[in-house]
Amino acid sequence: MHDDRSLVEARLKRVLDERIRPAVYPESVPLDVAVWHAPGEPVPVAEGLAAEPEPIAVGARWGAPWGTSWFRVTGTVPEAWAGKTVEALLDLGFDENMPGFQCEGLVYRPDGTPVKGLNPRNQWVRIGAPAEGGEEVRLHIEAASNPVILDYHPFVPTRLGDKETAGSAPQYTLTRMDLAVFDETVWQLVIDLEVLGELMAELPADAQRRWDVLRAVERALDAVDLQDVNGTAAAARAELTGVLAAPAVPSAHRISAVGHAHIDSAWLWPLRETVRKVARTTSNMTALLEDEPEFVFAMSQAQQWAWVRDHRPEVWARVKKAVAEGRFVPAGGMWVESDTNMPGSEAMARQFVHGKRFFLDEFGIENDEAWLPDTFGFAAGLPQIIKAAGSKYLLTQKISWSQTNKFPHHTFRWEGIDGTRIFTHFPPVDTYNCSMRGSELAHAERNFKDKGVARHSLAPTGWGDGGGGTTREMIAKAARVKNLEGSPTVVWEPPHAFFAKAEAEYPEPPVWVGELYLELHRATLTSQARTKQGNRRSEHLLREAELWAATAAVRTGFPYPYEELDRIWKTVLLHQFHDILPGSSIAWVHREARATYERVAAELTGIVEAAQRALAGEGEVPLVFNAAPHPRCGIPAGGAATPATEGQTTREDRPGGGHVLSNGHLRVEIDGRGLVVSVYDVEAARETLAPGQAANLLQLHPDFPNMWDAWDVDKFYRNTVTDLTEAGAVTAGEDGRSVRVARSFGSSTVTQVLSLAPGERRLVIDTEVDWHETEKFLKLAFPLDVHAERYASETQFGHFHRPTHTNTSWEAAKFEACNHRFVHLEEPGWGVAIVNDSTYGHDVTRTVRTDGDGGTTTTVRVSLLRAPRFPDPETDQGVHRFRHALVPGAGIGDAVREGWRINVPERHLTGAAEVAPLVTADHDAVVITAVKLADDGSGDVVVRFHEAHGGRARATLTTGFPLAAATVTDLLERPLAHAPAPAVDGDRIAVRLRPFELVTLRLRRG
């Protein structure tokens, strides 16, 4: 037989596009349309419905950027359509290739009841099948004219990302507003042919199945009368019955489809628009669930559920009903799908506390999985947090985006820094927006790396990013491939059902140890510095507010601000979403974030000051409050006392220019350029800096990645560097312990104050940059005379080691990485820490000494600022302030302590007497991260702590109040059934911790 595959396949494409798809709606009549453009921000539904609209015609332009227009569409069903299925086709000017990225709408009935959402892949509204013609139709559309930020030519700088700069030019053309007859037989034929055509394309050219399908498709096309598609569609479908009924082979890959609509809580739209996106999507999904009995939809991010509850009560009622039926499934158990690299220990824990508690309170449901399909890599401290929250699974897809190395597993156990292992799945479909195309299903089967030992994978199915969710077309396709020869099998089921099956069939999968590093989007550790500073400072202020409020509540009866702290935590957690904290959202999002963080800081500072005043009492004793988990200057951790002072710092002129600071511990030379050329550790009798190199060196690189401007820094940025060595002025500080350095570069200026306090082993560097560069990357370099094959970066509840070399492609790919408060590197017996108050990105490299005696040195560079132009063309322009400290002679315990110290400064007050801590630990490695009152209002004290040095620790916790009982709990403060009760002796609790172990204790007061 001649090979006519191409001929038949080309025929299929044209006939589908030009004859069969148009015949789905064989008859139509126009609707009458009127519109009212809301001034300013969106208005309540009642106001939009009551507004008096003006007529508008199809073809007219509408929609200023970020505007809201209320369309009223009216019409009459023709008498001749009696008994036929009628739908409204409402096209606001959609580009079907951009679901979730442009204008959208929510359709209402005249009484304000939401019907469903409109988006480029979902433009229909079912009117019904009237027994008689003449039915009046009246619908209202709340249409959002969100501008297209990420266009066909992506990453082009645009001012559309903020309503303050976007202008008012209409964005869209009203395209179609019709009533139409819906021919379900033709629609089903379209699905039949799409499924079979897509299946054919994935089968081997010499496979019998491919030819069977080809001939059946050919017979179906022969059966279609192109002049009467509607009259012959049933006959065409009959020709396909046999090939659609052929069952899958027993060894077929098995896909669990989960209805899904990944909705970024903010990204190329502001938070307020996400509130409406969620309402549109949940309206669609609840309607679809009513029509499709096998369909199951899962939605993560408790914040988004709360938005529906608080802003769309009618939709919420439908959601609650579907949840009760087990078909609308809470997923993930986190407040938002957050970044996991940068959030601090407590914040990462609270993502699960607030997320899981919401689902428990609202539905009595506790899910087992962390659901993070789009997060940009995963910190090595996350597994034990997941476990401590009572969960045991993780799903993500994003690691498939890595540019350099292909991850070797799709199902595995992920081991974190403390040894906790979490059963983890990467969907091999390689998308969180699966649409049930044959190419996607075939890719999932071919790509699955665990063949031979497992055959289950998951496919999050539905349009996402900007929402939209699953469509009726996707469900129809899934029904045909439920058991179809040549295809993986597909069944709709919730995430927990998939994980139960996957774990049962693969109980001993391979283990991956350490972070799940995404070899992409590395610049998200630096972009939008003010957002990152706001997050870091909010985290520490929340810790302070809880600590001092709890202490004051126990000691003085101070009213513990439960509701305020709950609300503020949720605000901070929301802003840790994986496009806000990473700095990859539009200007509007980050402008609002800065204002939010200012309000949070003011409110938390007020709580702290009120609690401390209650504790201090009235008096003239000078008190210093220390909220850090380590004593300092004679002040206990979590207490207040009069500080002790020791020693002094001297300053002298340096021969050849510059200054020398010395305090008996360190001798620091700063040359006439403002660079640190020597940091001599007096006690260890050794130099900290690499021979011939200077620290405090600002370096400027060009920064124009190949794509994803705010997200990416490509390795070639290092090919060109400018050392900023020309100082405008280097002057001694009036305090006798500091040196001020001023310099300029490009259109920017920088001022630094380098200070060495009496008795301290750290050189503090305060940097203020007035930044006006574009597409540049600013680093702060510290070349160290330390031979280190690995270094430590702080992560949640511990630290993680990375190599300093690039032996393999896996190591070379980590050319920009994340740390929290410190990085630390050492030789046996002597190390160096670099601590910071608000930066995350850094790089570490090694080189051979330049003084001729061989050996290696190690350079740590802190990432300060970037200047990408997409999606925010003014990213980080303006004044920024950073604080770093170089700590020579530091062990890992010193790094931990100094990291806390630079982030939690002392607070000064006068009062009646010293304030004793509420809870103390007698072991330096046992770090208390939270002291608070229990969330249930019982008055119990909750203390969370972990082993921070990477070793084992036996410690005693002592309470500053009568202790009745101590209980080990999970993060949600519920007793752990299998945890042994800690030994309690009066007000003392004996604890034993393994490396990096996290413990939460609930303490009942006597």
DSSP 643-709: PP-----EEEEPTTSSEEEE-SSEEEEE-TTS-EEEEEETTTTEE-BPTT--BSEEEEEE---SS-T
pLDDT, mean of residues 289-313: 97
Read off the tokens for 476.
């129809």
Between the alpha carbon of residue 156 and those of residues 708, 710, 868, the distances in Å are: 10, 12, 11
Give residues with Cβ within 8 angstroms of 282, minimum separation 6.
299, 308, 312, 315, 318, 319
Neighbours of 321 (CB within 10 A): 14
Once rounded to an integer, what is the mean pLDDT over residues 872-898?
A: 98
Tally the C-alpha atoms within 13 A of residue 519's C-alpha that lie toward its C-beta: 15
DSSP structure string for 637-651: TTEEEPPP-----EE
Residue pair 524/583 in contact (Cβ under 8 Å)? The answer is yes
- Quick one: angle between helices 208-223 and 5-15, nearest 10? 40
Per-residue pLDDT reduced to its tens digit, 777-802:
999 999 999 999 999 999 999 999 99
Q: Specify the pLDDT at position 745.
A: 97
pLDDT of residue 1: 66
The answer to whether the beta carbons of residues 468 and 122 sit under 8 Å apart is yes
Tokens of 867: 């200047």
How far apart (Å, rounded) are the C-alpha atoms in residues 635 and 631? 5
3-state secondary structure of 591: helix
Kind of pairing between the strands at 817-818 and 841-848: antiparallel
Rounded CA-CA distance 466/261 in Å is 8
- Indicate the SS3 state at residue 298: strand
Q: What is the CA radius of gyration of the chain?
A: 31
Sheet containing strand 176-181, edge to edge, reads 28-30, 176-181, 86-91, 124-128
Phi, psi of 638 (to 5 degrees): 75, 20
Distance CA 142, CA 105 (A): 5
- Who's near 405: CB < 8 A, 6+ residues apart? 519, 809, 810, 813
Q: Is 374 a catalytic residue?
A: yes
* Mean pLDDT, residues 601-623: 97
**Given this model, what pLDDT does residue 177 score?**
98
Kindly name the residue from 374, 579, 785, 970 that is annotated as catalytic: 374
101 and 268 Cβ atoms separated by less than 8 Å: yes
This prediction's pTM: 0.98
The rounded distance, in Å, linking the Cα atoms of 892 and 905 is 20
Q: What is the pLDDT of residue 992?
A: 96
Q: What is the DSSP letter of 469?
A: B
Contacts of 206 (CB under 8 A, 6+ apart): none
Contact, 174 vs 59, CB < 8 A? Answer: yes
3-state secondary structure of 24: helix
pLDDT at 1004 over 80: yes
In this predicted structure, what is the pLDDT of residue 776? 98
CA 662/CA 755 separation, integer angstroms: 10
In this predicted model, what pLDDT tens digit does every residue of 471-509 receive, in sequence order?
999 999 999 999 999 999 999 999 999 999 999 999 999
Distances (CA, A) of 128 to 309, 622, 1000: 29, 77, 56
CA distance 743 to 726: 7
Residue 73 has pLDDT above 80, yes or no: yes
Give residue-wise pLDDT tens across range 319-344.
999 999 999 999 999 999 999 999 99
pLDDT > 90: percent of the chain: 97
Q: In Å, how far are 332, 614, 767, 858 from 764, measured between CA atoms?
A: 41, 33, 10, 20
Q: How far is CA 614 from the centre of its chain?
A: 38
pLDDT of residue 987: 96
Share in percent of the chain as helix, strand, coil (round to 5): 30, 30, 40
Backbone angles phi, psi at 114, to 5 degrees: -70, 140
Among 849, 683, 679, which Cα is nearest to 764's? 679
Region class of 961: left (phi > 0), else alpha (psi between -120 and 50), else beta = beta
CA-closest candidate to residue 513, choices 425, 374, 381: 381
Distance CA 222, CA 217 (A): 9
Segment (H or E) for 885: strand 878-888
Burial class (CB in 10 A: 0-12, 13-18, 19+), 602: exposed
Distance between CA 884 and CA 786 in Å, rounded?
19
- Measure CA of the first residue to CA of the last residue in the chain; give whole Å: 91
Q: What is the pLDDT of residues 76-105, one digit of tens each?
A: 999 999 999 999 999 999 999 999 999 999
Q: How many residues does the chain have?
A: 1006
Contacts of 588 (CB under 8 A, 6+ apart): 161, 162, 163, 164, 270
pLDDT in tens, 198-212: 999 999 999 999 999
Pairing, β 790-795 against β 776-784: unpaired
Confidence grade of residue 3 (pLDDT, cut at 50, 70, 90): confident
Q: What is the DSSP string of 90-146?
A: EESS--TT-TTSS-EEEEE-TTS-EEEEEBTTB-EEEEE--SSS--EEEEEEEEEE-
Token pair, residue 701, equals: 């690189």
For residue 209, CA distances in Å to 16, 196, 201, 407, 437 come to 22, 11, 11, 32, 18
Task: Label residue 448 exposed, middle or buried (CB < 10 Å: 0-12, 13-18, 19+).
Answer: buried
- Distance (Å, whole) CA 678 – CA 671: 9
Per-residue model confidence (pLDDT) at position 957: 98
Tokens 């002796």 found at: 985
Q: For residues 860 and 833, what is the distance between their CA atoms, to the nearest angstrom?
A: 10
Q: Is the pLDDT of residue 131 over 80?
A: no
Q: What tokens appear for 798 in the block?
A: 């511990």
* Confidence tier at 854 by pLDDT (50, 70, 90): confident
The per-residue pLDDT of the chain, averaged, comes to 97
